[in-house]
């Protein structure tokens, strides 16, 4: 079966994109799915979280800009990673003159579509050519949100980008889901959740990722949340999210 390609993106930082990519990917692997994680953020947080390496021999930058093969690193059983590098910060400039630049990542991933059940792409907090590459390569967009402040203006911008990508390059792209991270039961959180649910309806996952110290500590451990503290609320919430994803994506 061809891999389902999911981009996790939000141009706002601090909403848990990388933690979600790592946790969802590793959670799917625990459910027996073969997963490829792609780190498209020059900050390398996903790569460092899972490998502890800051200077990989080859990175996604080399594949996107230098036409080199996609570098795939084995992380654990059922989880592979395409690492990022600091060079990726130059990609917006270096890819500007390349022909069909929006579709480079899609072409690279097509070769591996039969090797995985899920390909999950972690994006930078921007809506430039790198994130556009992810959307062009994807079947679904998942948007992590915090419910601490009204995010609707930012969501409108992301909606516009998705609409443009669907219109011009990838008509198969869908908004797969919206989900909340760093959630608590404060009044403001509840009000924002209600607004988002009114806007996106059944696209909003029931599972909410609660505020949890284990999720904050996890990136320094070099382990997934399930290895770091499988009894934590973070592990429980992300596994519940994984089960929702499987229910939706594997019907």
- In tens, the pLDDT along 182-200 reads 988 777 778 888 888 998 9
Backbone torsions φ then ψ of 160, nearest 5 degrees: -65, -40
Helices (H) and strands (E) in the chain, counts: 11, 8
Per-residue DSSP letter, 86 = G
Domain count within the chain: 1
State yes or no: pLDDT of 113 exceeds 90: yes
Q: What is the pLDDT of residues 32-77, one digit of tens each?
A: 999 999 999 999 999 999 988 777 889 999 999 999 999 999 999 9
User: Can you give the residue range of the structural domain that contains 113?
Assistant: 4-249
State yes or no: pLDDT of 250 exceeds 90: no
Cβ pair 203, 182 in contact under 8 A: no
What is the model's pTM?
A: 0.94
Check residue 156 and give its pLDDT.
79
Cβ pair 82, 38 in contact under 8 A: yes
Q: What is the pLDDT of residues 97-109, one digit of tens each?
A: 888 899 999 999 9
d(CA 45, CA 49): 6
State yes or no: pLDDT of 148 exceeds 80: no
d(CA 41, CA 85): 8
In the predicted model, what is the mean pLDDT of residues 84-98? 91
Closest CA to 118 of 3, 209, 12, 231: 3
Closest CA to 35 of 95, 75, 94: 75
- What pLDDT band is residue 88 in, cutting at 50, 70 and 90? very high
Check residue 1 and give its pLDDT.
72
Sheet with 4-8: strands ordered across: 73-76, 79-82, 35-39, 118-122, 4-8, 140-146, 174-183, 204-210
CATH assignment of the domain containing 229: 3.40.50.300
Per-residue DSSP letter, 102 = G
Give Cα 184 to chain centroid, integer Å.
22
């Amino acid at each position: 079966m061809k891999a389902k390609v999911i981009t996790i993106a939000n141009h706002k930082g601090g909403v848990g994109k990388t933690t979600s990519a790592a946790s969802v990917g590793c959670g799917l692997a625990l459910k027996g799915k073969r997963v490829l994680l792609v780190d498209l953020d020059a900050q390398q947080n996903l790569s460092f979280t899972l490998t502890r390496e800051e200077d990989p021999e080859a990175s996604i930058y080399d594949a996107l800009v230098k036409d080199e093969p996609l570098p795939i690193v084995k992380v654990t059983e059922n989880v592979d990673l395409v690492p990022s590098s600091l060079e990726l910060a130059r990609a917006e400039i270096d890819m500007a003159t390349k022909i069909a630049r929006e579709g480079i990542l899609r072409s690279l991933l097509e070769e591996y579509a039969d090797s995985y059940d899920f390909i999950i792409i972690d994006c930078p907090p921007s809506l430039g050519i790198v994130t556009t590459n992810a959307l062009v390569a994807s079947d679904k967009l998942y948007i992590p949100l915090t419910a601490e402040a009204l995010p609707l203006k930012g969501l409108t911008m992301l909606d516009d980008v998705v609409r443009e990508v669907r219109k011009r390059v990838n008509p198969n792209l869908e908004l797969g889901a919206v989900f909340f991270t760093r959630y608590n039961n404060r009044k403001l959180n509840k009000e924002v959740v209600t607004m988002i649910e009114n806007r996106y309806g059944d696209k909003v996952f029931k599972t909410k990722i609660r505020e949890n110290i284990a999720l904050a500590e996890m990136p320094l451990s070099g382990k997934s949340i399930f290895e770091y503290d499988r009894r934590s609320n973070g592990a429980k919430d992300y596994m519940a999210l994984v089960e929702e994803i499987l229910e939706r994506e594997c019907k």
